[in-house]
Structure 1
Amino acid sequence: MMKNKNGFTLVELMVTIVVAAILLAIGVPALTTVYEQVRVNNNIEKIHDLFAFARNQAVSYGATVNVCPFASATSCGTSTDWSGGIRVYITDATNTDHELRAIDSFNGQDKVKASAISMTFSADGLASGGNIIYCPNGKASNSQSVLISTSGLVSYGSNGNAC
């Protein structure tokens, strides 16, 4: 007499694998878009918070605070490409820079462009003004921006700007 064994047949297993593969093929591109949007939101919030921090430090210290792209451990970049990271520093009376905060480089596929090589906040909170645009994978359609007005107001800008 044969005993009934519990388990799956090879056909049932193959059908399950095919269905899972189809679901993954449909779902992965959608998840990539979601991941990209979350990455943009997180990084644009970091940039916004960094500029708000820089303005607050300028007012607190009563000194000029500079924000610029990372070029090396001791200097700022010389282009409007801020993809390598952002550095906030203050210069003391002896002309020595003191780094207050920094953001390391962003995702290698993303572009971060600014309207200026560097931005400054004066002791009264006024800024040189400008904007920063974050483009995931270089796509303007999903880009977000941060605006820094000359009055020192740091705000979120419009979406969909070209890099």
Structure 2
Amino acid sequence: MKSRYGHTLVELLFCLLIAGILLGLAMPSFVTTIERSRETAAVNQLIGALHYARSTAVMERKVVGICAGQGFCADKPHWQGQVLIFNDRNRNGQLDTDEDLLRALQLIDNFDLYWRGFRRTNYLHFKMDGTTPAMNGTFTFCRAGSARKQVVINLSGRVRTHAPSDDAPCS
């Protein structure tokens, strides 16, 4: 009697069919996991920038400003592109030529970021003691027109995250 080594073409096609079905079932949850990971990375990037600005203000005993823009501060609540962290000597919320740019941070794509502050300014300051001068507010992360996450900054300069509120701006 002759022994068989290997598999028939029908057996191989059947295994490929089962693998394709399993992959098709797993793909949507894999895509959701990747989207959640990108969202977490974007939120953590902003939180890291806020912590850096606050700690720099305390350690260097200077007023540190944060705004959105490409080389200069854009005067709008929709933050995209870059976040600028700078020593704001004159406290005007703008990166002027005589002020030091501490860090320019490229924001993660695929998310829209909206700032809504108490004073209706489009920038944020940290004073020398790490507090904000009545500039508490909320950053809202939006994707495809819906709010995904919010980062809240209180008067003492502390940062926390939470689920978006019903009135979170995404436009």
> What's the TM-score bracket when you normalise by the shorter of the two chains?
0.7 to 0.9
1:92 deviation in Å?
4.9
Residue 52 (structure 2) pairs with residue 53 (structure 1): yes
Q: Say which of 93, 115, 125 aligns to 1:120.
A: 125
TM-score by length of 1: 0.83
Runs ≥4 in structure 1, deviation > 6 angstroms?
Answer: none
Q: Do the aligned residues in 1 keep the contact of 2:140 with 2:164 (CA within 8 Å)?
A: no
Question: What's the % identity of the aligned pairs?
Answer: 27
Return the alpha-carbon distance in structure 1 between the equivalents of residues 153 and 85 of structure 2.
15
TM-score by length of 2: 0.79
Partner of 1:104: 106
1:138 deviation in Å?
4.2
1:97 match: secondary structure: coil
Q: Say which of 159, 163, 168 aligns to 1:159.
A: 163
1:144 match: secondary structure: strand
Matching residue's letter, 2:105: I
Taking only aligned residues, the RMSD between alpha carbons, in angstroms, comes to 2.2
Higher strand proportion (structure 1 or 2): 2
For these two proteins, the number of residue pairs brought into alignment is: 156
| Distance change in 2, residues 1:90/1:118 (3 Å) | same
Q: Say which of 65, 77, 80 aligns to 1:80.
A: 77
Matching residue's letter, 1:150: L
Q: What runs of 5+ residues in structure 1 fail to find an aligned partner?
A: none
Q: Do the aligned residues in 2 keep the contact of 1:63 with 1:123 (CA within 8 Å)?
A: yes
Q: What runs of 5+ residues in structure 2 fail to find an aligned partner?
A: 91-95
